[in-house]
A and B are shown apart, each in its own frame.
Chain A
Amino acid sequence: QSALTQPPSASGSPGQSVTISCTGTSSDVGGYNYVSWYQQHPGKAPKIMIHEVTKRPSGVPDRFSGSKSGNTAFLTVSGLQAEDEADYYCSSYGGSNNVIFGGGTKLTVL
């Protein structure tokens, strides 16, 4: 299975909102409500920000939200802050007990 498609980069100014897309197929993103989003700062391990499309783990600011439409999932970061600058990866259950990640999006806070 191919990696999910994410834009390589995204940017926004402090206080603005930015949305990152994650496009798959009906066999993964579109077929299951098992999309997650991870934040990764340089040299650090990934951190889960959203799971099962819309669920936000405790401790994750409510500025982060997830949604899905058809074969595309979205991560929206509202009220951008400097510490949100990081790489973001989506993942989806791909059937047959495997997981597919997206290629990653580098979010820059201008």
Chain B
Amino acid sequence: ELLLVESGGGLVQPGGSLRISCAVSGFTVSTSYLTWVRQAPGRGLEWVSVIFSGGNTYYADSVKGRFTISRHSSRNILYLEMNSLRPEDTAIYYCARAGDGYTAYDYDYWGQGTLVTVSS
């Protein structure tokens, strides 16, 4: 069974840093296209970042230079390192996978999300 489980969310002050994780099972992070998508409370979905199977990474303009997506192959975990956090980064952060038969921009398995709150 394919599973993605996010963790590490919480309350952080503006300007602070946080690293959230996405532990996966049933497939390997190193051979998959994996993405982070966020959803502010009561708002729509916003694409944040993607890491390709070859290791290339790409970011939304809103987080470029502040967020870093990475993966730990042996632990089978996806990360999102978030720095210089702003109140507008407050959201549920979902990790998701682009599976076989999908492009790198279509996500067939999602985690349950982890809430990041940026507030003083």
Chain A residues in contact with chain B, CB under 8 A? 1, 3, 34, 36, 38, 40, 45-48, 51-52, 57, 89, 91, 93, 96-104
Contacts and interface: CB of A to CB of B under 8 A. Distances in A.
Contacts of A96: 58
Contacts, number: 61
7 contacts: A36-B107, A45-B110, A46-B94, A48-B108, A89-B45, A97-B56, A103-B44
B110 A46 contact: yes
A104 B58 CA distance: 24
A45 B106 contact: no
A51 B111 CA distance: 19
Contacts of A48: 106-108
B103 A34 contact: yes
Interface of B: 35, 37, 44-47, 50, 56, 58-61, 94, 96, 102-108, 110-113
B113 A99 contact: no
A33 to B, nearest CB: 9
B102 A46 contact: no
B44 A36 contact: no
Q: Is the interface of B mostly helix, strand, loop or mixed?
A: loop
Contacts of B47: 91, 98-101
Nearest to B113: A45
A52 B46 CA distance: 19
B12 to A, nearest CB: 23
A46 B103 contact: no
Kindly name the residue among A45, A97, A102, A103 whose own CB sees the greatest number of chain B CB atoms within 10 A.
Answer: A45
A20 to B, nearest CB: 14
A97 B45 contact: no
A57 B58 contact: no
Contacts of A45: 94, 110-113
Nearest to B112: A45
A52 B45 contact: no
A45 to B, nearest CB: 4
